[in-house]
């Protein structure tokens, strides 16, 4: 029970105690850290590749035993009150941590793929609203990126930025936002990913090369979503677990972070291509491609050898690299983006745009925001201490969403005659006649 709020009702106090137990049980289950490959595997593989005889990487994962934690998680699920907002939150969260624990106990085996599908989904799942699959959406963005006239890209968009320079720039951005040193930006030579975020620390791979777009993306995506929700969750009086990166919140977290890039104009088509390539690569791995084949796929799409290795290892985290298996986390990005975008538009149409702010009170799913709304009203969940500027400016956000709602009513395949009366649209003709355009 929170010392600041000694008069919680018995049901809130009961679930606050269960939440504290869950936080303790989940301690040490740093899922993404524990499934990641050691950085020293990269250079031997690249040496073998450049010598013309690539050798499939072999990863030795440590053995983990979370049996005691899993027993505690089961007990929490049984003790939580089903049908109560806090109880349902705890049951789903504890179940997610139990799956994560089982996954970590089975590193290096095919079971990881099955559990990652439970936690993160697959490339063939439909997007919200009976839309295309994530893999089909990925193909859309890859095609657009490949067809873009690169002469349109300004020189400023391609100027390389070192990790050292970016760290200084990003640190200044964050210090300005918080008006204090709240998050530290650090260089990490052993990081395989280009960047990684925690509540009070953002790491950049020392050898990585960035662009000006990367600065804006890292600020909005990593710092002002991933770190900010962790910081706000840390301040919660009852649900301390809202600070934790539970696997069940990954789709919403990555969707919210990618939406933040878009709403602030921080994303670019190459970023969308990178996200989409990972989804296609997961699908290829599940279809039988091994690490070398997936590495070649990223190379064929214009990535450097170093980046292709980093991209390919994401797909095979925790599983054998021999093909037919994958760690499916990267499939959440487009599904999460569409879900969060739809959620914000729905919130505007329902005159409940305040729900978008509540998303930042901690790490939660879209369902949690709706489910826990009575807890906000009761003061059980505190409003977020920090919010990105685009969320604070409700009028600007509402303007963008209102236009998006309206624009959705317009059928692109039916406007050719109105906008371009003297120029037929071959794609529209193809969709009407079923004939291939010349």
What is the average pLDDT across 170-190? 95
pLDDT in tens, 5-54: 557 899 999 999 999 999 999 999 999 999 999 989 999 999 999 999 99
Phi, psi of 319 (to 5 degrees): -125, 160
Q: Is the pLDDT at 323 greater than 90, yes or no?
A: yes
Q: Which of 21-30, 115-124, 152-161, 367-376 has the lowest mean pLDDT?
A: 152-161
What whole-number percentage of the chain has pLDDT above 70?
90
The reported pTM is 0.88
- Would you kindly state where each structural domain of the chain is located, as residue ranges? 121-393
Q: Which of 58-62, 80-84, 424-428 has the lowest mean pLDDT?
A: 424-428
Q: Is the pLDDT at 176 greater than 50, yes or no?
A: yes
Per-residue pLDDT, 397: 82
What is the average pLDDT across 136-160? 77
Q: Is the pLDDT at 118 greater than 60, yes or no?
A: yes
Mean pLDDT for the chain overall: 89
Q: Is the pLDDT at 151 greater than 60, yes or no?
A: no
Phi, psi of 160 (to 5 degrees): -70, 145
Q: Which of 76-80, 179-183, 346-350 has the lowest mean pLDDT?
A: 346-350
Per-residue pLDDT, 3: 44
Q: Is the pLDDT at 155 greater than 60, yes or no?
A: no
Per-residue pLDDT, 18: 98
Per-residue pLDDT, 296: 98
Q: Is the pLDDT at 257 greater than 80, yes or no?
A: yes
What is the average pLDDT across 95-106? 98
Q: Is the pLDDT at 432 greater than 70, yes or no?
A: no
């Amino acid at each position: 029970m929170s010392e600041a709020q000694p008069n919680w009702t018995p049901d809130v106090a009961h679930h606050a105690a269960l939440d504290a137990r869950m936080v303790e049980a989940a301690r040490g289950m740093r899922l993404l850290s524990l499934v990641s490959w050691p950085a020293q595997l990269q250079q031997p593989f690249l040496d073998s590749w450049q010598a013309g005889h690539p050798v499939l990487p072999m990863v030795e994962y440590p053995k983990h035993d979370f049996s005691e934690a899993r027993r505690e998680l089961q007990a929490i699920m049984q003790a939580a009150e089903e049908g109560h907002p806090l109880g349902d939150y705890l049951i789903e969260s504890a179940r997610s941590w139990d799956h994560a624990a089982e996954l970590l106990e089975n590193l290096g085996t095919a079971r990881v793929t099955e559990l990652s599908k439970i936690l993160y989904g697959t490339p063939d799942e439909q997007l919200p609203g009976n839309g295309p699959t994530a893999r089909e959406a990925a193909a859309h963005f890859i095609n657009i990126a490949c067809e873009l006239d690169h002469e349109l890209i300004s020189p400023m968009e391609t100027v390389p930025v070192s990790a050292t320079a970016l760290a200084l720039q990003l640190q200044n951005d964050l210090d300005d936002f918080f008006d204090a040193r709240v998050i530290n930006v650090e260089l990490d030579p052993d990081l395989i990913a280009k960047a990684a975020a925690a509540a009070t620390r953002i790491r950049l791979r020392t050898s990585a090369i960035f662009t000006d777009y990367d600065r804006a993306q890292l600020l909005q995506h990593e710092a002002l979503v991933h770190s900010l929700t962790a910081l706000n969750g840390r301040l919660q009086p009852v649900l301390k677990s809202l600070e934790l990166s539970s696997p069940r919140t990954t789709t919403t977290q990555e969707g919210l972070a990618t939406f933040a890039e878009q709403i602030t104009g921080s994303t670019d088509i190459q970023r969308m291509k990178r996200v989409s390539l990972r989804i296609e690569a997961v699908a290829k791995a599940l279809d039988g491609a091994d690490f070398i084949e997936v590495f070649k796929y990223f190379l064929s799409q214009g990535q450097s050898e170093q980046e292709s290795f980093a991209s390919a290892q994401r797909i095979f985290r925790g599983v054998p690299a021999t093909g037919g298996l994958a760690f499916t986390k990267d499939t959440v990005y487009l599904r999460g983006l569409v879900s969060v975008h739809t959620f914000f538009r729905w919130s505007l149409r329902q005159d409940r745009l305040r729900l978008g702010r509540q998303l930042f009170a901690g790490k939660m799913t879209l369902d949690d925001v709706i489910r826990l709304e009575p807890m906000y009203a009761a003061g059980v969940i505190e409003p977020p201490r920090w919010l990105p500027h685009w969320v604070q400016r409700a009028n600007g956000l509402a303007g963008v969403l209102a236009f998006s709602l309206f624009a959705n009513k317009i059928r692109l395949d039916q406007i050719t005659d109105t906008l371009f009366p003297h120029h037929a649209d071959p794609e529209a003709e193809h969709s009407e006649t079923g004939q291939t355009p010349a």
